[in-house]
Amino acid sequence: MMVCMTELWPAPFSATPITHTVSVPGSKSLTNRAYVLSALAQGPSTIVGALRSRDTDLMEAALASMGVGFVTEGDEISVTPGSLHGAEVDCGLAGTVMRFLPAVAAFAAGEVRFDGDERARQRPIATILDALRDLGVQIQGGSLPFSVHGASRARGGTVEIDASGSSQFVSGLLLAAARFDEGVTITHTGGTLPSMPHIEMTLAMLADAGVAVESTGHTWRVAPQPIRGRTWVVEPDLSNATPFIAAAAVTGGCVAVKNWPAATTQPGDAIRTIVERMGCETVLEADAAGGHTLRVTGASRGTLGGIRLDMSDLGELTPTVAALAAVAKTPSELTGIAHLRGHETDRLKALTDEINRLGGDCEELADGLRIRPARLHGGQWHSYDDHRMATAGAIIGLVTEGVEVENIATTAKTLPGFESMWADMVEA
């Protein structure tokens, strides 16, 4: 596994319980889905509270290069659909860009060329490209870089895919399905389908945009129909909130996260149940403004319990939960996450290597991790240009002196300014 040696960030250590209140910016998953639906809609849309990060900036830039209009005023982004045309798309390391936009590019007049970071060229993409070919789209290449030869319209039809490598293959087709001449029927044929909450998020947003989807098991049918423009209000990114919740859990402190939604499709909401099972207390409190604040109180320092958990629907939380498990007093086993080998890095190998590098006891399983209690020590924690690997190192550094996280700046992928927010929390 390639390690990018850049500046080391001394992870702040806290000898006392953390007490802090934090607000996190908008959800990346919701923001990028809102961008795509707004670009394909029949009329203008407004996105309120969109996340501004590398992943979302890449999505906006890609759609703008294809002819979509964007105007930002304060917390609002006005989106005006246009006649899509050929363009160059930089995917960076964003799975949503590389997997959502090929279907959009089918409706461009001209060639849309896709490329991205070196690691992005290793991420699974052939499944959705082959599916689009079956739906009548002309595509050259089977991995980054590849080209979509748009014809302003596409036939559509029925397609079978194995989406066990990423739920984004299903979401990427669903988001554009209503624009195909014949609509699209998608059937997942694989044995497992990870991250179902993200598909449910896609379905909920399609419904909000007026798109009817018939779902039967692992088959989804979308007839040709208009996608309505609307106002999208983006919730805070709950996955980005999890490191701050983990700070309360590992230090025995209390962290409050403002504007936590009372109901949500975000998988990050599951962190509440996870930390409760590990010994923490959580309370969702209504505030005077009509919103809610999540308050998490950790167990006494050093008493955090381990957990056995099927994380097939919660893969993006794995680095946070693995960091919690690495400092827990009893063993943990996290399963159902073989698909994480195709994320920003091979997260199962990366977590195993980095936890063990600090004296931990982490074993890589066929579909997960087994983590046993061990006395950790300081040292370098490599991020592999993976934002969630970087935040996992920061969590462990709170209770392990001398941890240095390599390339903490990679957190800008979804949470720009993380290191300042983290320092503010520790110093508060």
What are the catalytic residues?
Answer: 316
Q: What per-residue string of b and e applies to 94-119 under the rule 16 or more CB within 10 Å gives b?
A: bbbbbbbbbbbbbbbebbbbbbbbeb
Q: How far is CA 43 from CA 78, 226, 229, in A?
A: 11, 10, 5
Angle at 142 between CA 137 and CA 148, to 5 degrees: 35
Q: How far is CA 154 from CA 103, 105, 117, 284, in A?
A: 9, 10, 29, 46
Residue whose C-alpha is closest to residue 339's, from 297, 311, 360: 311
Residue 137's identity, in one-letter code, is V
Residue whose C-alpha is closest to residue 234's, from 405, 418, 25, 411: 25
- Token pair of 150, please? 């748009």
29 marked as binding residue: yes
413 marked as binding residue: yes
Q: How far apart are CA 147 and CA 138, in angstroms?
A: 9
82 marked as binding residue: no
308 marked as binding residue: no
Paired residues of 140 in beta bridges:
147
166 marked as binding residue: yes
With a CB cutoff of 8 Å and minimum separation 6, the contacts of 122 are none
277 marked as binding residue: no
Residue whose C-alpha is closest to residue 80's, from 229, 235, 280: 229
Q: How far apart are CA 78 and CA 47, in angstroms?
A: 7
152 marked as binding residue: no
Helices (H), 109-234: 126-134, 168-177, 196-208
Angle at 314 between CA 53 and CA 386, to 5 degrees: 40
258: helix, strand or coil: strand
347 marked as binding residue: yes
Q: What share of the chain is helix, strand, coil (3-state, %, to 5)?
A: 35, 25, 40
As a residue count, the chain comes to: 428
295 marked as binding residue: no
329 marked as binding residue: no
332 marked as binding residue: no
Residue 374's identity, in one-letter code, is A
Residue whose C-alpha is closest to residue 426's, from 283, 260, 300, 244: 244
With a CB cutoff of 8 Å and minimum separation 6, the contacts of 236 are 23, 24, 25, 26, 27, 257, 258, 259, 260, 261
Backbone angles phi, psi at 295, to 5 degrees: -115, 125
Helices (H), 41-153: 54-65, 95-105, 126-134
168 marked as binding residue: yes
Binding residues for 3-phosphoshikimate: 28-29, 33, 166-168, 195, 316, 343
Binding residues: 28-29, 33, 95, 123, 166-168, 195, 316, 343, 347, 388, 413
